[in-house]
């Protein structure tokens, strides 16, 4: 039985995600307690675990309150445990992790922060990428460098095309505007932006195939010539795009 996914808007522009199945319910990131606890109560669910992607407060700030209300266990990257709330399960990228009866892959996607992880549920076809690969964008490089982030994005880009990419923020307007500025002839991008503008639904999740077609940070091969970077490596083109976005 596939897991049920609920996307929740939190704070000003964060997304949190609930996954529910026969084995229980888990939360991915904990930006704000009220909308999460309200949804859990409305659904009549408990909460078994909270999976944390990285240490920024807008992803972990509500952990203590939610744990106090639900008794959920906390799962995060063992390598960044000192900056996370107390972990009940310290996961390691590349090592097995079972969640809701599924074998989950913990991916190192450092760049936005060092120790940022993504959680890939291959059986359900979902990846929770937070502030690494985002809808039509990627996270700002606060701790890592461009080469590190490009390696992380490449790791995510190797997942199956139908994988749902569940990112951490609704930055669609800003990310879409930048994407158009460097990829103006991209009809798939314009169609996606039109659909987002007409819908009241969250712009995440989207399939990896859709991100490949519309996200400039996954389209370095298509943008190498327009940027005048013939002969540059993929990582160099990515670095240029990230710099342009920072200055946009």
The annotation places the binding site at 54, 56, 58-59, 112, 131, 169
Long-range contacts of 77-82 (CB under 8 A, 24+ apart): 77/52, 77/106, 77/115, 77/116, 77/117, 79/115, 80/54, 80/55, 80/113, 80/114, 80/115
Q: Please identify which residue in the block is written with the tokens 């080469």.
A: 147
Helix 187-198 and helix 172-182, axial crossing angle in degrees, nearest 10: 160
CA distance 122 to 158: 12
CA dihedral 157, 159, 164, 165 (to 10 degrees): -40
Beta carbons of 167 and 133 less than 8 angstroms apart: yes
Q: Is 78 exposed, middle or buried (0-12, 13-18, 19+ CB in 10 A)?
A: middle
What residues form the annotated binding site for Zn(2+)?
54, 56, 58-59, 112, 131, 169
Gap between the Cα atoms of 151 and 129, Å rounded: 14
């Amino acid at each position: 039985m596939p897991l049920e996914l609920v996307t929740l808007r939190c704070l000003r522009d964060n997304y949190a995600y609930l996954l529910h199945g026969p084995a229980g319910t888990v939360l991915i990131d904990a930006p704000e307690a009220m909308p999460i606890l309200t949804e859990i109560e409305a659904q009549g669910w408990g909460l078994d675990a909270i999976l944390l992607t990285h240490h920024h407060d807008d992803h972990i700030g509500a952990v203590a309150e939610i744990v106090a209300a639900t008794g959920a266990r906390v799962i995060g990257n063992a390598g960044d445990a000192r900056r996370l709330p107390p972990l009940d399960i310290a996961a390691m990228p590349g090592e097995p992790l079972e969640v809701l009866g599924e074998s989950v892959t913990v991916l190192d996607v450092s760049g936005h922060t060092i120790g940022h992880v993504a959680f890939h549920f291959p059986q359900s076809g979902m990846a929770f990428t937070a502030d690494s690969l985002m809808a039509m964008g990627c996270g700002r490089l606060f701790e890592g460098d461009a080469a590190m982030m490009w390696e992380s994005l490449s790791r995510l880009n190797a997942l199956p095309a139908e994988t749902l990419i569940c990112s951490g923020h609704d930055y669609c307007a800003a990310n879409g505007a930048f994407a158009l500025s460097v990829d103006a002839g991209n009809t798939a991008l314009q169609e996606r932006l039109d659909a987002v503008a007409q819908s009241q639904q969250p712009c995440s999740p989207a399939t990896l195939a859709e991100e490949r077609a519309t996200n400039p940070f996954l389209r370095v091969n298509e943008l190498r010539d327009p940027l005048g970077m013939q002969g540059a490596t993929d990582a160099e083109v990515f670095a240029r795009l990230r710099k342009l976005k920072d200055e946009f």
